[in-house]
Amino acid sequence: RGSNAINSKITGSGIGLMLVWKLVKLHGGKINIDSTEHEGTDIRLIFYKGYEHLRHYSIVEPNQELPAKEVVEQAKVTETPEKLQEMIEAALLQRILIVEDNDELRSYLATSLAGAYTIQACSNGKEALIIVKEFWPDLILSDIMMPEMRGDELCTAIKTNIETSHIPIVLLTALNDEKNILNGLATGADGYITKPFSIKMLKARISNILSNRDLLRQRYAMATKMDSEKPGLLPAEANTLDWKFITDVKNNIKNNIDNTDFTVDSLCSLHNMSRTSFYNKLKALTGQSPADYIRDFRLNTAAQLLQKKKYSITEVAEMTGFCDSKYFREVFKKHFNVSPSKYGKEDKK
């Protein structure tokens, strides 16, 4: 597709020429295209006579009836109905934003993925930037060649914004040469799928990316239990902007660990983020709400202090921001399944 067609908001799937090329190739033919702007386009198709070049294919004579389609046996479901219900409910919690300017392809993608995910769709990158902060998707599936804002520009905008940098993006495009693929990945895209594509392959790619995000989320959550995060511990899949965010969150809590008035609003203010944006960011990265994250950080710090056996339980409670030692004992026991006094006496690995 030419840039003039895109800028004129003339929609298209972007795969027509690729389909023509595949059909010509199936028939052993050749296709050549010469195009000059304002002069015209010459398309030349070459098909060979006879059948010799088709010897590896099944040739159907004119008026010959095609064999009846074989019935594909459905795979047996081994999971119990209860297990399937749990899987469906878990999948529905994950949200996908589809950004595609072609109405038919956008509708097809939405319909194909709607059975497993909660879907929102729009027709260009500018709309997507607005929807992202309302819908907060778990993944964005975007075409590249679009009016208003290209998919690679959308990817750059998402990945360089601290509020949205954690959202994985899969670029979907007919630009399938190595240079375009590398350019797409250079914007921070988590995946690059070329048209025409197999919907099964697309679903598998999306599933793998979301599964990897779950593993990365566990890695980020572990930062709550660590005294320090060394640069060398940065996971290969991690976005450095996201890792810096987690490190800053942890350091801000650590610096205010003994402040009983330190709240979620205080933490949001230190990061110059709204409560909603901060909540969605931290929840997406760690699986925890800000309040739970702060509480767990305080409790893990308290556990480390108790292991040193230098302070009383009351002192530890005050040092970690718990104004009431009785409440501290209750919360600590609920979290570690052991009282603070017993925890301090036991040797912990």
pLDDT value at residue 71: 38
Same domain, 31 and 91: no
Comparing C-alpha atoms, which of 338, 301, 321, 225 is closest to residue 329?
Answer: 338
Instruction: Note if the bond before 196 is cis, omega within 30 degrees.
Output: yes
The more confident residue out of 74 and 49 is: 49
d(CA 251, CA 50) in angstroms, rounded, equals 75
Q: Quote the domain boundaries for residue 144.
A: 83-215
Give CA–CA dist 341/221, Å, rounded.
26
Pair (96, 174) in one structural domain: yes
The reply to whether 33 falls in a domain is yes
Q: Please say whether the dihedral angle defined by the alpha carbons of residues 198, 199, 202 and 208, taken in this order, is positive or negative.
A: negative
Asked if residue 285 belongs to a domain, the reply is yes
Q: How many CA atoms does the CB half-sphere of 77 hold within 13 Å?
A: 7
For residue range 94-137, what is the model confidence (pLDDT) as tens digits? 899 999 988 888 999 999 998 888 899 998 899 999 999 888 89
Distance between alpha carbon 265 and the CA centroid of its chain, in Å? 27
Identify the sign of the CA torsion 57, 58, 59, 62: negative
pLDDT tens digits, 56-94: 556 666 665 555 544 333 334 445 555 555 555 554 568
CA angle 232, 224, 258 (to 5 degrees): 120
Residue pLDDT, tens place only, 255-299 = 999 998 899 999 999 999 988 889 988 988 888 889 999 999 999
Give domain status of residue 61, yes or no: no
Q: Is 39 within the bounds of a domain?
A: yes
Query: What DSSP string runs through 87-100?
Result: HHHHHHTSEEEEE-
Specify the amino acid at residue 168: P
Low-confidence winner among 11-20, 26-35, 304-313 (lowest mean pLDDT): 11-20
Query: 208 with 232, same domain?
Result: no
Q: What is the mean pLDDT of residues 308-317?
A: 87
**More confidently predicted of 119 and 12:** 119
**CATH value at residue 189:** 3.40.50.2300
Q: Does one domain contain both 187 and 229?
A: no
Is residue 113 in some structural domain? yes
CA–CA distance, 249 with 81 (Å, rounded to integer): 41
In a domain, 78, yes or no: no
Q: Do residue 94 and residue 138 come from a single domain?
A: yes
Give the pLDDT confidence of 168-189 residue by residue, as tens digits: 999 988 766 677 677 767 778 8
Q: Has residue 200 been placed in a domain?
A: yes
What is the value of pTM for the model shown?
Answer: 0.65
Structure-token pair, residue 145: 């060649």
| 55: its two tokens | 């010897």
Tokens coding 96: 């996908």
**DSSP strands (E only) in 71-229:** 95-99, 118-122, 139-143, 169-173, 191-194
The number of distinct structural domains making up the chain is 3
Position 8, amino acid: S
Residue with tokens 């767990």: 296
